[in-house]
Amino acid sequence: MIERLKKYCGCISPSGCEDEIRELIIQDIQQIATRYEVDRMGNLIAFKKGRKTPDKKVVVSAHMDEVGLMVKYISDEGYIYFDPIGGIDPRVVGGRRVVIGDKRIYGVVASKAIHLQKKKERGMVVPLEEMYIDIGCDDKKSCEEVVSVGDVATFVPNFEEFGDGLIKSKAIDDRFGCALLVELMQEELEYDTYFAFVTCEEVGTDGAKQVAFNLRPDIAIAIEATTAGDVLGAPKSRYACELRKGAVISHIDGSTIYDKKLVEYALATAQENNIKCQLKNVIAGGNDASAYQRTAAGARVLAVSAPTRYIHSASNVVCKDDLFEIKKLVLALLQKGF
């Protein structure tokens, strides 16, 4: 799973441009899926036949897209101005290396040099609209030969294992979920199960809305990455979850109140199988579960997430052990059935 995660994190696939990651996933599932299709939104929906047909239709879902940047203007000097794709904190953007478009043009995000800043500007976070990307061009013409308005960019792929069993990379949110779904599809499942690799989660869960409308599942399990709070200076009362404590189960977040019986079922399953599991104890964020819960006839929803430091940055950080605990939990749920 770790090698697959590395491969998936290397894709340049922000919201609306999921082609690269989708093709990799298709290569990995075409021999193990009973069937699969790509819908008009670019969602990849796979079906895996199990030993039994369940009473309830279950879909396990992960989003393919990542946060990114879109080129909006090229200056006469050859600098590129941009807008964010998804929720990106300006504090994690300045000075970062990015890669732009199908031509894979590398650049660095910059802003006004400190010696040119006014006194009141120093120490302040530079707004995204005042940052620009330098790709080494001297003028607008040479820049426009390789970059166009509307091109998208992401942080440069940088997957690396470090420390005591940790991984850092851009796009672990939610390439981990995609890698996990493929791992689950390799198992001999007890029940028929749908697996949805969806688009545009970072800009409004648009892809999952279409999957929910078309599949009309009874139960939807969103596999996600969620913000960990175990960072220096944060009070424990504000820890949403912690690395090394296993799968994260949410009661409620910024867009969804999760099915209480499903939450209890997941916690009980974790306890029965000696799987590390924790509750998310801060109401924040949101994911595709909200789309499944609200679209068409609605669905009962559960989120199982990986605790992640520095989410939506160039260096998401997760613990490998947590990822495997999540795999064990979701597989145990699918094998027990609902």
Residue 329 has pLDDT above 80, yes or no: yes
Residue 272 has pLDDT above 70, yes or no: yes
Distance of CA 67 to the CA centre of its chain: 8
Residue 236 has pLDDT above 90, yes or no: no
Domains and CATH numbers, the chain: 2-66+170-336 (3.40.630.10), 68-155 (2.40.30.40)
pTM above 0.85, yes or no: yes
Residue 122 has pLDDT above 80, yes or no: no
Please state the φ and ψ torsions of residue 209, each to the nearest 5 degrees: -60, -40
Residue 100 has pLDDT above 90, yes or no: yes
pLDDT of residue 119: 74
User: Which pLDDT band holds residue 290 (cuts at 50, 70, 90)?
Assistant: very high
pLDDT of residue 126: 87
pLDDT of residue 193: 98
User: Which pLDDT band holds residue 93 (cuts at 50, 70, 90)?
Assistant: very high
Residue 176 has pLDDT above 80, yes or no: yes
Query: For the residues 199-214, what does the mean pLDDT come to?
Result: 97
What is the average pLDDT score of the chain? 95
Query: For the residues 158-185, what does the mean pLDDT come to?
Result: 97
Residue 172 has pLDDT above 80, yes or no: yes
Please state the φ and ψ torsions of residue 317, each to the nearest 5 degrees: -125, 125
pLDDT of residue 111: 81
Beta bridge partners of 262: none
More confident residue, 115 or 331: 331
Which residue among the candidates 66, 183, 201, 202 is catalytic per the annotation? 201
Q: What is the pLDDT of residues 143-156, one digit of tens each?
A: 999 999 999 999 99
Q: How do strand 97-100 and strand 105-110 relate by DSSP bridges?
A: antiparallel
User: Which pLDDT band holds residue 117 (cuts at 50, 70, 90)?
Assistant: confident
Query: For the residues 174-198, what does the mean pLDDT come to?
Result: 98
pLDDT of residue 116: 66
Please state the φ and ψ torsions of residue 253, each to the nearest 5 degrees: -135, -160
Structure tokens at 163: 């420390």
Distance between CA atoms of residues 89 and 201, nearest Å = 17
Query: Which candidate, 292, 314, 318, places its Cα nearest to that of 303?
Result: 292
Query: For the residues 131-149, what does the mean pLDDT come to?
Result: 96
Whether 201 sits among the annotated catalytic residues: the reply is: yes
Least confident of 83-97, 177-191, 235-249, 250-264: 235-249
Angle, alpha carbons 144-170-138 (nearest 5°): 20
User: Which pLDDT band holds residue 163 (cuts at 50, 70, 90)?
Assistant: very high
More confident residue, 121 or 182: 182
Q: What is the pLDDT of residues 2-37, one digit of tens each?
A: 999 999 999 999 999 999 999 999 999 999 999 999
